[in-house]
Structure 1
Amino acid sequence: MAKVLTIHGGVPLKGKVTVRGAKNLVPKAMVAALLGDSPSVLRNVPEIKDVAVVTSLLKIHGVTVSKDEVTGDLTMDPSGTKTATSNEIDTHAGDSRIPILFCGPLLHSLGEALIPNLGGCKIGDRPIDFHLDVLRHFGAEIDKAGPLGTSIRAPHGLTGAKISLPYPSVGATEQVLLTAVRAKGTTEVENAAIEPEILDLISLLQKMGAIITVGRDRVIRIIGVEKLNGYNHKALPDRNESASWASAALVTKGDIFVEGAAQRDLTAFLHTYRQIGGEFEVTDDGIRFFHPGGDLKPLILETDVHPGFMTDWQQPLVVALTQATGVSIIHETVYENRFGFTNALVEMGAKVQLHSECLGAIPCRFGQRNFQHSAVITGPTPLTGADVDIPDLRGGFSHLIAALAAEGTSHVTGIELINRGYEKFMDKLTDLGARVEMNEIA
């Protein structure tokens, strides 16, 4: 039975939601527990699908995972780490790409690792080549010939290396960190990602005994150590979920207090939010986002790696820009196919034109490659309810808030994708006054 969410739009979202640990940190922090020789405790863990997936993957690799039912804290004991079969990994991973990050820790513990074919949101080409190249630099032997995936071995152990990433990939940087901390010698990675989630992962690894420094020039240096301890760490709050609810407040002309939102990690977003006409108030407990009245303003925006405007913030914000007076231009430089979600917005009445040219100040790596990675949005346009199938996590949330703002009724399928990154989103929608119903269809 498939699930369909019925949304009766036109109601401003008002109230409070709480965000907990970041989806882009928590699963990786759980993987890091494999590196320790004693149990690790992770706090501020959200109830999302990715956490459930990694919990299953850890268990089939012999890690004991227990959850405090009161606090939600996870305790992970890696003392029984063992090899899992490719079929087991494939079954438990589902559409997640997280198994690739198990490789470094498993190579240190067991000398081998397996990677099944990986899934994830369909927002562009996210090859594992970066990851495999990183592992080769450390001395891993890789066999991609197997029909069930990729086999990786390190019969002679792993050795530190000097690595220059062609792009500051978050995933590749995480791979370096999780592999280098126990490799022999020193590792230096140039052009590394320095997102808040990366820095929080570094903080966690330092608690375990890792030796890591981060330079302003995007160079991270790691001195490998023979063993690491377990950690006790509170995950930083999810800045992407915070920004999503902020856009929801703007699109529906609502007023939402996001408990747990951290200003320090949302600087670029807050600047843009106020620039287009949204308002916010920062407190010690979170941030209140609201539509102050009046017309929203168009803008020209390029996504970028941190500290730029994050790609995950772009999709919900595009929905708000359909209600701005004038022409907005968005240049997506991180994922080449991230504008696929706008087809549904056009069906709902939005005016969005996609272009393969780099409509930004600086040509990006997708230029001249026929990817429609720039968007021109003309507004304001009234939105009307429609039947929508969710394509990916952030695009799906964008469809939801468009439907919430639209006049009439929308029916949304593929809603399970939202569970990957938004904790208890149905409860949150209801608490904010949304008129929604979840049903099952044959």
Structure 2
Amino acid sequence: MKSLLTTSSNPATAEKEASGETLRIRGGQPLTGRVEVKGAKNLATKAMVAALLGESTSILRDVPSISDVKVVRSLLEVHGVSVVDGEEEGVLHLDPSGAVSAHMEEIDAHAGASRIPILFCGPLLHLLGQAFIPDLGGCRIGDRPIDFHLDALRAFGAVVDKLPSGIRLSAPNGLHGANIHLPYPSVGATEQVLLTAVRAEGITELRNAAIEPEIMDLIAVLQKMGAIISYEPNRVILIEGVKELRGYDHRCIFDRNEAASWACAALATDGDIFVGGAKQQEMLTFLNVFRKAGGWFDIHEDGIQFRRAGALKPVIVETDVHPGFMTDWQQPLIVALTQAEGESIVHETVYENRFGFTQALVKMGADIVVHPHGLEDGHRRVPRRALEQAAVITGPTPLHGADIVVPDLRGGYSHVIAALAAEGESIVRNVGIIRRGYEKLFTKLETLGADFDIIG
């Protein structure tokens, strides 16, 4: 394969020059240094959609330079929204005054594999009276049905027509408040209800809502715009619809998923990484597990330092919705657990197919057994779900280089970290998908001392 570094030996420069689909990684060295995390992918993209609801320009700060943000930007521009970069890096000015309906072909072309178009529905129904959703993509981590979204939109008064090319929605009689009880505290469905209810006529009561920090930050964005939203105990959110909203000026909450990923990288490679911008409050559950697994961390005003405290220890983890252990955290953690002394168990209760990435780790020498129907365990804190799986990781097992293919965003990052922890050389393919959620990945890896090349 021809190297794409012929014009520059600097991976940071090459990141701008090349697609970066394949990496050649020489592992066995600890990652040390400082990286900065910007705004959360799971907030920035939703706040950009929220700008459609305002009658004036919105300003969003600390926006990460990732492909998901670029997808949303393209979709907004297709709908006539002006998106302009600010003078400061990571600042976007979003003016919805020219919003128009877009052709389904344009939406489909710009959406790519993203699932973001579903969240355009509420704002577009308010703004234009209609919306279109193409076939949705996203990471291959299991079934992500949009039934929760469509049922909620129907409750608001939307008419849903399923077409061969996607789904068309209309609101001939406008949208009105509704009483909605989600079967599961889905983050996406909660965002859908919030983005739709704020301008629906009347009061909306949402029960069994997701309460992730990114959801709370989206509520803060909408409140800045003039929305009336209150959070009650037991996952109940009340939204009083208003006739109009204005633009906002908001700084995104930090990306706790990326922060946890770098923490796990320090654990897996026996490194020492300071994650600038990370904050304790939003990572309490992760930090507890990190410490139990043999990690050491130090909280600073401007971030958190992560490294090992000694030999790694086995842990039992159950993924869950917030305030539980995030499903996005288990994949990079499993890489580190391959080096723990004993048997670790990870119960995945959120998605039904999120252990596919472990096949590559086994190829690299890890001892991981996936139980596709989960494990019976009398000491569970999270209720069993029919879709859940479990992974049993026995260590420590030395990892060696291999030729592997990235399956999804978090699994892909985990493959890169495994290759950096392994002895020898690895080829990691399809790393472009990692750009969906990790800003300047190659630059940060270089800063931490990773030894790699980008190849064609």
Q: TM-score range by the shorter chain?
A: over 0.9
Give a deviation string over 1:4-57, Cα, whole Å, max 9, x none: 100000010000000000011000000000000000000011100011000000
CA contact (8 A) 1:329 1:359 kept: no
Answering whether residue 311 of structure 2 is matched by residue 295 of structure 1, we say yes
Q: Partner residue of 1:19?
A: 37
Q: Partner residue of 2:140?
A: 122
Give a deviation string over 1:279-300, Cα, whole Å, max 9, x none: 00010000000123x3110011
Q: Partner residue of 1:347?
A: 363
* Cα distance in 2, alignment partners of residues 344 and 271 from structure 1: 27
Q: Partner residue of 1:47?
A: 65
1:10 pairs with one of 6, 28, 48: 28
* Cα distance in 1, alignment partners of residues 300 and 364 from structure 2: 36
* Cα distance in 2, alignment partners of residues 427 and 421 from structure 1: 14
Aligned partner of 2:127: which letter? S
Unaligned runs of 5+ in 2: 1-18
Q: Partner residue of 2:85?
A: 67
Give a deviation string over 1:133-186, Cα, whole Å, max 9, x none: 110000000001x12110000011000000000000000000000000000000
Q: Partner residue of 1:238?
A: 255
Instruction: Indicate the SS of the match to 1:410.
Output: strand
Aligned partner of 2:256: which letter? R
1:38 pairs with one of 35, 40, 56: 56
Q: Partner residue of 1:148?
A: 165
* TM-aligned CA distance change 1:365 to 1:109, over 3 Å: farther
Aligned partner of 1:247: which letter? C
CA contact (8 A) 2:254 2:277 kept: yes
Aligned partner of 1:427: which letter? T
Q: Deviation of residue 193 (structure 1)?
A: 0.1
Instruction: Indicate the SS of the match to 1:178.
Output: helix
Aligned partner of 1:124: which letter? G
Instruction: Indicate the SS of the match to 1:272.
Output: helix
Aligned partner of 1:204: which letter? V
CA contact (8 A) 1:359 1:374 kept: no
Aligned partner of 1:275: which letter? K
1:96 pairs with one of 98, 109, 114: 114
Q: Name the TM-score, length of structure 2 as normaliser.
A: 0.94
Give a deviation string over 1:312-337, Cα, whole Å, max 9, x none: 00000011111000001111110111
Aligned partner of 1:392: which letter? D
Give a deviation string over 1:87-125, Cα, whole Å, max 9, x none: 100100100000000000000000000000000000011
* TM-aligned CA distance change 1:143 to 1:18, over 3 Å: same
For residues 387-426 of structure 1, what are the structure 2 equivalents within 5 Å?
387-426=403-442
CA contact (8 A) 1:295 1:324 kept: yes
* Cα distance in 1, alignment partners of residues 264 and 313 from structure 2: 14
Aligned partner of 1:72: which letter? G
Q: Partner residue of 2:14?
A: none
Aligned partner of 1:226: which letter? K
CA contact (8 A) 2:347 2:374 kept: no
Instruction: Indicate the SS of the match to 2:344.
Output: strand
Q: Partner residue of 1:169?
A: 186
Q: Deviation of residue 351 (structure 1)?
A: 0.4
For residues 281-430 of structure 1, what are the structure 2 equivalents within 5 Å?
281-292=298-309, 294-355=310-371, 356-360=373-377, 361=380, 364=383, 366-367=385-386, 373-430=389-446
* TM-aligned CA distance change 1:380 to 1:119, over 3 Å: same
1:431 pairs with one of 447, 453, 456: 447
* TM-aligned CA distance change 1:85 to 1:41, over 3 Å: same
1:188 pairs with one of 178, 186, 205: 205
CA contact (8 A) 1:181 1:224 kept: yes
CA contact (8 A) 1:12 1:405 kept: yes
Q: Partner residue of 2:291?
A: 274
* Cα distance in 1, alignment partners of residues 411 and 404 from structure 2: 11
* Cα distance in 1, alignment partners of residues 113 and 66 from structure 2: 14
* Cα distance in 1, alignment partners of residues 153 and 433 from structure 2: 30
Aligned partner of 2:51: which letter? A
* Cα distance in 1, alignment partners of residues 64 and 415 from structure 2: 22
Q: Deviation of residue 362 (structure 1)?
A: 5.4
Q: Partner residue of 2:149?
A: 131
Q: Partner residue of 1:77?
A: 95
Give a deviation string over 1:224-274, Cα, whole Å, max 9, x none: 000000000000000000000000000000000000001110000000000
Which range moved further: 249-258 or 67-76?
67-76
CA contact (8 A) 1:296 1:325 kept: yes
* Cα distance in 2, alignment partners of residues 249 and 419 from structure 1: 20
Q: Deviation of residue 357 (structure 1)?
A: 2.7
Q: Deviation of residue 363 (structure 1)?
A: 7.1
* Cα distance in 1, alignment partners of residues 208 and 384 from structure 2: 15
Aligned partner of 2:229: which letter? I
* Cα distance in 2, alignment partners of residues 283 and 68 from structure 1: 29
Aligned partner of 1:117: which letter? D
Aligned partner of 1:62: which letter? G
Q: Partner residue of 1:158?
A: 175
Q: Deviation of residue 70 (structure 1)?
A: 3.1
Unaligned runs of 5+ in 1: none
Instruction: Indicate the SS of the match to 2:168.
Output: strand
Q: Partner residue of 2:244?
A: 227
Q: CA RMSD in A?
A: 1.1
